[in-house]
């Protein structure tokens, strides 16, 4: 039920949705917000109040940094009590990272924060922007019969599907259905009606909302490939001030058993580095006990990221390291869900 007294805050950060073509170069450039609203007069027909905040300058999401996440949390904190829900317009390229980061930074969230964007600019005839934006606004204003928000979590709405933000990945650079949530079912599907699957949506938290601002980005991703060079591995693992490495492994969390590689990992772990195992497969999870090639990693002290996306793993590490938890505490917290980003131990099939 859409709450007609709702106040929704629309935050425009940039992205294709509001871009226009540079007539000289032909490339897309960020444009101002009035361009967007003039192309969606329907926004004025939504029967609730919409307030807007525009990033200055608006950015292509490839330029997003932890500073922008902090800015978003500040905007949401400053406007939290005066608004019922939030819609963030964001470029698609790094939207899954921002959604994952916000899911950790907005603890005990009890209002919807819906990210959306578009694959085609708003001015194009076949644009997907209009549908994405209007439905995202409706979801942000939707309440159940008790008056509680239906989706009190950070999510991404794109091309008819609402996904949990920290389970989402951009999987297609061309198609309108750009996002996937491989390891968790969707939260809602929009057609003639918006159909929510409430079993998949986080319950309202009992504790008070808490806004977090510390993110530590001394993290690297090391993606394995057959023939990977020792010099490259060593230079990543020995990067000055590095605190964590995400090891992107094969299949169910497997890596070469060659001694120099295992020794380099053991040495990194001994030096205090957190090494988290994430599979290169889009779907499924890390099970290091399954093959000898995974057991070696386990023995070396590598932490299982189970079914985390890379986006969720990196932002969760930034969040936990930013909060100065000990290595032991981070190891424990990486394995359990903070906000539904990883399948719970007691729900895993293995
Ligand atoms: N490069 C754009 C961005 O992420 C792509 C998009 O918005 O879809 O900002």
Mind listing the pLDDT tens digit for each residue in 266-290? 999 999 999 999 999 999 999 877 8
* Rounded Cα–Cα distance for residues 48 and 6 (Å): 5
What is the structure's pLDDT at 345? Answer: 73
pLDDT band at residue 32 using 50, 70 and 90 as cut-offs? low
Residue 65 CA to ligand 1 center (angstroms) comes to: 14
Average pLDDT over residues 55-83: 96
Task: Report the nearest atom of ligand 1 relative to the CA of 60.
Answer: 9
Cα separation, 27 vs 24, in Å, equals 8
- The percent of the chain in helix, strand and coil, each rounded to the nearest 5, is 35, 20, 45
Question: Could you tell me the distance, in angstroms and rounded to a whole number, from the CA of residue 338 to the centre of ligand 1?
Answer: 28
Are 143 and 8 in contact by the 8 Å Cβ rule? The answer is no
- Tell me how far apart the 2 most distant CA atoms of the chain are, in Å: 65
Q: Which of 107-116, 153-162, 245-254, 295-304 has the lowest mean pLDDT?
A: 295-304
pLDDT of residue 129: 87
Per DSSP, the three-state class of 58 is coil
Pocket test for ligand 1, best of 30, 95, 117 (most atoms within 8 A of CB): 117
pTM exceeds 0.85, yes or no: yes
To test the ligand 1 pocket, which listed residue (92, 121, 156, 311) has its Cβ within 8 A of the most ligand atoms? 92
210 Cβ contact partners less than 8 Å away, ≥ 6 residues apart: 107, 108
Phi first, then psi: give them for residue 229, nearest 5 degrees: -90, 140
Residue 243 has a CB neighbour count (10 Å cut-off) of 20
∠ CA 61-281-200 to the nearest 5 degrees?
Answer: 75
The residue whose C-alpha atom lies closest to atom 8 belonging to ligand 1 is 92
What separation in Å is there between the alpha carbon of 60 and the centre of ligand 1? 6
Do the first three CATH levels of 7-211 and 219-334 match, i.e. the same topology?
yes
Q: What is the pLDDT of residues 312-330, one digit of tens each?
A: 999 999 999 999 999 999 9
The pLDDT assigned to 350 comes to 52
Among the atoms of ligand 1, which is closest to the Cα of residue 117? 7
Q: 1: which strand partners?
A: none
Q: Which of 43, 5, 198, 13 is nearest to 132 (CA)?
A: 43
Q: How far is the CA of 18 from the centre of ligand 1 (A)?
A: 10
End-to-end alpha carbon distance in the chain: 40
Measure the CA–CA gap between 251 and 287, rounded to whole angstroms.
9
In the prediction, which pLDDT does 27 show?
80
> Contact, 99 vs 166, CB < 8 A?
yes
pLDDT tens per residue, range 114-165: 999 998 887 788 888 889 999 999 999 999 999 999 999 999 999 999 999 9
CA of 247 to the centre of ligand 1 (A): 27
> What is the structure's pLDDT at 36?
66
Instruction: Tell which atom from ligand 1 comes closest to the C-alpha of 178.
Output: 8
Pocket of ligand 1 (CB under 6 A): 14-16, 60-62, 91-93, 117, 119
Residue 185: CA count within 13 A, CB half-sphere: 10
How many residues belong to the chain?
350
**Backbone phi, then psi, for 158, in 5-degree steps?**
-155, 130
- Kindly report the protein residue whose alpha carbon is nearest to atom 7 of ligand 1: 91
How far does residue 30's CA lie from ligand 1's centre (Å)? 10
**Cα distances (Å, whole numbers) of residue 303 to 183, 220, 348:** 19, 15, 16
Q: Encoding tokens for residue 21?
A: 């073509």
How would you class 233 by CB atoms within 10 Å of its CB: exposed for 0-12, middle for 13-18, buried for 19 or more? buried
For 7-211, CATH gives 3.40.50.1170
Q: What token pair was written down for 296?
A: 């070696």
* Confidence label for 46 from pLDDT (cuts 50, 70 and 90): confident
- Looking at domain 219-334, its CATH class is alpha beta
Q: Which numbered atom of ligand 1 lies nearest the CA of 118?
A: 8
Distance CA 293, CA 256 (A): 6
Report the nearest atom of ligand 1 relative to the CA of 93: 4
Catalytically annotated residues: 16
Which CA distances in Å does 344 have to 144, 223, 305?
A: 27, 26, 12
135-139, 189-193, 341-345 — which is least confidently predicted? 341-345
Q: Which atom of ligand 1 is nearest to the CA of 119?
A: 8
Question: Which residue's CA is the nearest one to ligand 1's atom 4?
Answer: 91
- Domain ranges, ordered by start, for the chain: 7-211, 219-334
State yes or no: pLDDT of 21 exceeds 80: no
Nearest CA to ligand 1 atom 3: 91
Checking if the pLDDT of 74 tops 90, the result is: yes
Question: φ, ψ for residue 198 (rounded to 5)?
Answer: -70, -20
Tokens 């189970």 found at:
306
Check residue 4 and give its pLDDT: 73
Distance 61 CA to ligand 1 centre (A): 6
């Amino acid at each position: 039920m859409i709450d007609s007294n709702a106040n929704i805050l629309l935050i425009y950060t940039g992205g294709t949705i509001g871009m226009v073509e540079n007539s000289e170069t032909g490339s897309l450039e960020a444009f101002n917000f009035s361009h967007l609203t003039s192309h969606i007069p329907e926004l004025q027909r939504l029967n609730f109040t919409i307030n807007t905040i525009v990033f200055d300058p608006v950015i292509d999401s490839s330029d997003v940094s932890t500073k922008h996440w902090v800015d978003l949390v500040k905007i949401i904190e400053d406007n939290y009590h005066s608004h019922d829900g939030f819609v963030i317009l964001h470029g698609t390229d790094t939207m899954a990272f921002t959604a994952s980061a916000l899911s950790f930074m907005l603890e005990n969230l009890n209002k919807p924060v819906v990210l959306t964007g578009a694959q085609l600019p708003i001015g194009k005839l076949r644009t997907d922007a209009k549908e994405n934006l209007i439905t995202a606004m409706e979801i942000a204003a939707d309440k159940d019969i008790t008056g509680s928000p239906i989706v009190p979590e950070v999510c991404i709405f794109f091309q008819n599907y609402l996904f949990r933000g920290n389970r989402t990945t951009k999987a297609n650079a061309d198609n309108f259905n750009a996002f996937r949530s491989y390891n968790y079912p969707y939260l809602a599907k929009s057609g003639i009606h918006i159909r929510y699957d409430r079993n998949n949506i986080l319950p309202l938290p009992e504790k008070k909302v808490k806004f977090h601002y510390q993110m530590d980005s001394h993290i690297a991703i090391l993606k394995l490939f057959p023939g990977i060079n020792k010099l490259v591995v060593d230079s990543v693992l020995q990067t000055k001030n590095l605190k964590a490495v995400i090891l992107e492994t094969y299949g169910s969390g497997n890596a070469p058993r060659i001694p120099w590689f295992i020794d380099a990992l053991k040495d990194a772990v001994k030096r205090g580095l957190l090494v988290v195992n994430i599979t290169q497969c889009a779907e499924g999870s890390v099970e290091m006990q399954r093959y000898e090639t995974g057991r070696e990693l386990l023995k070396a002290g590598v932490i299982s990221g189970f079914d985390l996306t890379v986006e969720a793993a990196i932002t969760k590490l930034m969040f936990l390291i930013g909060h100065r938890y000990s290595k032991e505490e981070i190891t424990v917290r990486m394995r359990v869900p903070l906000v539904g980003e990883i399948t719970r131990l007691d729900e895993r099939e293995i």
